[in-house]
Structure 1
């Protein structure tokens, strides 16, 4: 076969997959599903393109609309992870059921998010095991840390019944830190959480995380805002050997 006569359809599936893997899977799904080509249609539904969908850099409403009406209903059973902006959450989550969805990453997260969106599908309470938040709320000093901890961080652990990994990051320098000193033991507690990545206000807050409130915790990674020589822990600590 001469090079001048070679067409992309002449390439074997293995070569086509190698090429497609170099591209954004959102673009692949948008371009290749429902284009009246069964071969491309099947390739686009490979797990590598459907397991993890990232809508974080998308601002095209027409693209989101097509995904919600045509594409997500076809691949909903394969989706394991979503990354999205809060403005698209409701449309995407209501577009279909996602029986294998276990991980969600939310960019530009703000404190009113959960009251607006996740309660629309109670099934996510038990499905989601990994939660990643890119926090956009402003860093503020004072008692607001404890309020934020009670209203947001503690609420997350109560809402997601099977949460195993919680990762809170920020696109800015800092975000409202976890502060559990002087709060009750069950304010921020979990019997399922194994991995926690978060900023804490003081060293005491870090140590309080090891007092048994997170029964299954195996990995803890924190940034401490304030390390004060006068910090004291006045209650007994459990041994942390995991």
Structure 2
């Protein structure tokens, strides 16, 4: 029997969409963003960019999905500025909230989930008043 080597880029877009829909949006964007134009086109689909959640549940508490600042920096400097127009919903944890909100303008954002945020910080954020 002869074995063939099929690479990710050899798969049709429809198959890639089926596979990618089973994976986490942020991990997909981090892993495949700017690999090539074809993958960028697929990953920039609203299915993968409209709702981004930077939080995860861990033993009844919400924590930052990425503990590494290297990953967060890549999102803030390279990925979010390129997809900011497509983002409609963001879930953020207080630790990374400032970096993510400062990374780009989000003109189509209609839902913002803020987790583990102190009341006085939330008040400053929504009123523009500083402590």
TM-score by length of structure 2 reads 0.82
1:17-47 per-residue CA deviation (whole Å, 9 max, x = no partner) reads 1001111100111111112x11111111111
CA distance in 1, matches of 2:8, 2:31: 15
Cα distance, 1:112 vs. partner?
Answer: 1.7
Residue 53 (structure 2) aligns with: 54
From the two aligned structures, give the one with the greater helix fraction.
2
* 1:95-153 Cα shifts (integer Å, max 9, x gaps): 11101001011111321222343456xxxxxxxxxxxxxxxxxxxxxxxxxxxxxxxxx
What are the equivalent positions in structure 2 for 1:31-180 lying under 5 Å apart?
31-35=31-35, 37-56=36-55, 57-119=65-127
Inter-partner Cα distance in structure 2 for 1:105 and 1:88: 13
Segments of 5+ residues of structure 1 without an aligned counterpart are 121-242
SS of equivalent residue, structure 1 residue 100: coil
RMSD, aligned CA: 1.7
**How far has the Cα of 1:8 moved from its partner?**
2.1
The structure number with the bigger radius of gyration is: 1
SS of residue paired to 1:109: coil
Instruction: Return the structure number with greater relative CO, CA threshold 8 A, min gap 6.
Output: 2
Equivalenced residues, count: 118
